[in-house]
Structure 1
Amino acid sequence: MNLPRKIMRIFRTTATCTNYLESESKSMYFSRKKAAFFNLSLTSKLKYIYTALIFFCISCNLLILYGFFSREEQKTIAGLTSQTIETVSRNVDHSLSTISKTSTYLLGTAEVQNYLQNTNRSAYAIVSKQLRNSLYLSLESMPLVSSIIIMDSSGTYEGAARYELPLAAMEAPESTSWYEKVVSKKGAPILEINGGGCLKFEDGCNYITLIRLINSTEDAHPLGYMFINVSVDSLLSFARDDNSEYSDFCVISETNTILPFYNDDLNHWLLDKSAYSAAENNTVQIRKDRYLLLNFQDSNFGWNYIAAINYHSFTAQYKAFIVISIVILLISSCFFMLIALSTNHFITTPLCRLMNAMEKSETGNFNHANVTPYHDEIGQLQNAYNDMVDKIQNLLDAKVSEQKMLRKAELNVLQEQIKPHFLYNSLNAISYLVTSQQNDQAYDLILSLSEYYRESLSKGSNIILLSTEINIVKNYLKLQKMRFPDAFTDEYELQDNVLSYKIPRLILQPLVENSIYHGIIPACDSGIIKISAFTDTHNFIIRISDNGVGMTETVLHDIMTTKIETNPKSFGLRGTIERMQIFYETQNIYTIKSSPSQGTDITFLIPINKVEK
């Protein structure tokens, strides 16, 4: 007895251990799978995510859309058919209204009036022929109209038809059912089927007849009647396909069936008016087929449009296609949406942010890129880029500092070279006046020189307003005019807005000095010095012009290439150009036009975004 118990105990212990090991094994298995998934590359992660999402979307969409289509089938069919019926009604109303408006013009034509008022039997044939010609022309303007009849009060009529003219079967208009209605309308149209039963058509089809009273254009008394016949089949041909297997419709009035159903079973059902009234806008069973009935009443003519939709045929033909199309559409939409979201989150957004940061570096914005906190491939690329940015920024800072110090030193050297050069020339002019016994002029010259230096050195700034620079030039020219009377005149063409612009000091004076000594004085004739300053779309422009002797290309090249220290002529021109290039940090800042005996034009083109205002 003990042996079986021991065996059972061993089995239970073994089973417990097995269950424990299996649970631990499952837990370790899922942990390993989870760790393995998160350690995968981005491409592998996206592949597994896309696969799982595809199967999930397919399952969900198949279940949801099947139930949705079954529930919304009737609602969708009813909505579409109702819109179709309303469209048919509006088109019929529009067509008949157009015919009615066109017929209004026909009422007052000379041919119609002459025919109805003609009392001369000998002229009857001519008047009738003219009327027929006019009616045939009217038929061309009304494509839906099959025939037009003009009838006088005695019942005699004349008409025109596309095929066969209908036969008017009546003793007199006063005996018809529509007579009182037409008279009461006083020329407005009424609608009847087959002329209210008074017109016989050989093809046996139904026609809508528009009947109008024709009044005299002279005294408005009644002359006769107009009948315009429109085939019901042609009027509604666009709205019904006889080969349709799933939908049909008819048009009925209070007393007549204007357009019957194409399906004979539906026509038999329509004979039972009580069945029609009870089943209005409801589902009915006719033999083996189930129909959805929709009714729409036209308020203009009092007609009822009844549509019958066969559920079975509609579903059989389009259900599979609609379901598959919607399923594919929704699944594809969800699939691509999730692909986009996943790709955007893991790859696109970090890469775009990193790319934007790199593009900013092209404009000199060397900021760190902070696009991801993780250490995957994009994170490693981000860190490498940030290290590179730091090194480039340090190099640029050092280079910029070095260039600024160098340019400042060069500018100071040129400035100090120009100052003694100008003072030397001014003192030379005063010396000339003193030695030539022109003491009063020398006195005035000294006063002008003191005023000149007071204006240019009072504040000690190397950057001055253009208006101040112009005053300096005017004082300088006043000094030169005392030395060289009648040798030149000065002109100024300055825009008001540029006078507040700031430029380096003593830019214009050296160039004016060059114009006097190297342009006008050698010409041995009275000259003109003109200073212009204005702006265009992109530049602030300063121009100094003279009509002196000018210079050749060779002389200009020598001046611009020879060192300033070895060529005194280059102080004014070359030195000023170098100062402007250093100050505005651009080489393409000037143009020079000069030729022998034609004078010289020096133009500075300063970018407007570098001008201090």
Structure 2
Amino acid sequence: MLRTVRIMNASIRGKPIKLALKIPFYYFLVILLSVAFSYVVFNQISTNSAQNKINEASLQTLTSIQTNVEFMVGNVNNYSKMIFSDENLQNLLRQGNVYANLQTQSKVSLYLYNLMQAVPIIDSVYIFDNSGNLFSVGTEQSPTFTRANVQDAQWYSEAVAEQGKYILKLNGSGAFSEHADQNFVSFIRLIRDLDDTSPLGVLVINIKGEAFVKAYSELPNQNALAFAIMDEHNQMIAANATEEVPFALFEQALASEDQNRKPTLLQTTAGFFPLKSGSQSYTASVLSGGSYSWKFVSITPHNAIRTVNKSLVLLALALLIINGAVFFVTSFMISRSIIQPIHRLLRSMTKAKSGSFQKVPATRNSYEFQQLFIGYNNMIEQIDQLLKRIIEEQNTIRKAELNTLQAQIKPHFLYNTLDSITSLALSGLNDQVCDLLEALGGYYRASVSKGRDIITVGEEVEMVRNYLKIQKARYRDIFEVEYDVDESCCPYSIPKLVLQPLVENSLYHGIRSKGTKGTIRIRAHRSGGMLTISVADDGLGMAEEEIARIIASERNGQVQSFGLWGTLERLRIFYDDRSHFKIDSEPGKGTAITLFIPVGEEA
């Protein structure tokens, strides 16, 4: 602890801290933060895991309840088919009046009564003929149909539109009187003639609310779960509330003014959403869908999740603290094995400041330190070689710059051009004198280019045009020039005086040496990500051995007339080996030099 205080005091005063103290101190901080962070993360992960397990269990329970309800409704559907398939009922409804034949009505009543005795979930059965007459069988507490005519019921149009498919309505959607202290569900469908499928009337089977309680009463641990069954209008059909989740909480989940949660409940097919009541938080699970769009909702309090999660989190925290203590003790042992080799290396580096480069014997107790000392010793050996290579590269750059300077000045070219201008002036050819002076000025203006080393392709081509215009005045019938320059290439930047030395070589060493009239072709276009510039002639040409000899001689400073190596070397240095070139030449057929320069990259 005292060591930690000393480290903190040294940090405050801005003094450097020894590694022997810093490593254990940072180990302590890292372990402390790691334990705290791991506890928070693990607690969150564990909570989420417990939440997911409870959610999955709730969803499985809701799925079981939904299955039981669908099975029960399916049975009622089968009973309804048995009812409207009864021959006596069919004959009675075909007459258009359920009271037309009392004897047949009596048989139907007996049949329905026996069915209700066998199926206790059915509270009452109502049969309406096409004339609106009502015939019913039920218990003494059965609800009473309160409408003057069956067509006045809210569900009548829907039942007719379904053409024989059943619909479910809680408490008959108000068409029946309220039942004593419990809900009931009205199973409604159209009765159709078995012979010609024409509508004969409407069948209503009221299912007892307690039947839906049985859908979950036989589930394991059902008393510990709080869930509810609701119809498509979010009206409560049945609910199983607990002490922690009162019945009112389901009403809160369905409250119309709760705009944040109700849309989730209405739209979700199967999922979860948070619920809060006072200081208590809950998670509501919802399962909806099916043929009648009912919803099955379960609500779980968060304290149940924390109870499941608490013991596991405390165990994880205890393990983290024990591991942290072990790591902190071992940090001192680790620091000693690291610091001693570093001290040896530091002593050697201190001597290196004064120019004494001494190798450090490689340690064998650690592979990493062994490789570090080997690398350090190799570095010392390579320093001298690196210095020599740097000097050589500097000489190369200076030589390339010298070649560029020589290509810029060329006094004999200026003298020869001035002689040509003098001859033209003495001959009275003033227009040609003006053109030649303008070309000469444009050439040297572009060559100087305000001290810039980088110019555009358009400026370089224009300088070559002026150069060849001057040479054309001197050598009238020796050469012709063809330009094939893509205008889109003109804005790109390149090093200055790249084309002019190549054009000069084509004129002097290619065409003039051949002794016959020739053509110089200058092309520039873009291909992929490279700018392609070529200078070709149909002059004397060279063999591959001669090209290699010229480049080697220029590199060694033995030949100064071509300037080919200097131009190519400048491009290599300017673009850091990203540019390249190609020389195609054949004796007697000419030479083509193609430069490939990265597009959009300035030197």
Q: TM-score, normalized by length of structure 2? A: 0.47
Structure that is richer in helix per residue = 1
Structure showing greater radius of gyration is 1
Structure of higher RCO (CA pairs closer than 8 Å, 6+ residues apart): 2
Q: TM-score, normalized by length of structure 1? A: 0.47
